[in-house]
Amino acid sequence: MPKLKVFTTQMGFYDLAVAASSQAKALEAWGVHQNLFAQGMAHVTTDGALVDAALARPNVVLRRPVGSKEPFSEHASVGTRIAKASPSKAKTSRPAKKAKKAKKARHGRS
C-alpha cells in the first residue's frame, strides 16, 4: 500500500480534507482540474485529529463548514455561522442617495 498524506483545501462553504497517495489523487478526489497546490490553495496537513480521521477513510473526501472547529466528516452540513453571516436586504442610506443626486446635477442630468 502506498504511503498516504493528508491534503486540505477550502472549496465553497467547506474545508475539505482527503488522505491520498499524491497531490494528483487529492485533486481527483476533490473533482478539481486545476493545480490548487501550485496556487497555494491546498497543502499537506499534520493536524493530528484530522490526519487520524482521514487515514481511517483513505480517498474519501471529508468536510466541515468553513471557519468552524467541528470535526471533519463525510457528510457535513453548512454551519449556522454562514447562515447568520448572509446579508439581509441592504437599504440605501440617505447620504448615498444625496451623493447620487449631486452627481446627476453636476452632469446636467435630472
For residue range 22-81, what is the model confidence (pLDDT) as tens digits?
999 999 999 999 999 999 999 999 999 999 999 999 999 999 999 888 888 888 777 555
Q: The C-alpha cell of 107 is what?
A: 452632469
Residues near 54 by beta carbon (within 8 Å), at least 6 away in sequence: 6, 17, 18, 19, 60, 62, 72
Global model pTM greater than 0.75? no
Q: Yes or no: say if 16 and 61 are a contact pair by the CB < 8 Å rule.
A: yes
- ∠ CA 20-46-38, rounded to 5°: 60
Distance, in Å, from the CA atom of 60 to the CA atom of 25, rounded to the nearest integer, reads: 11
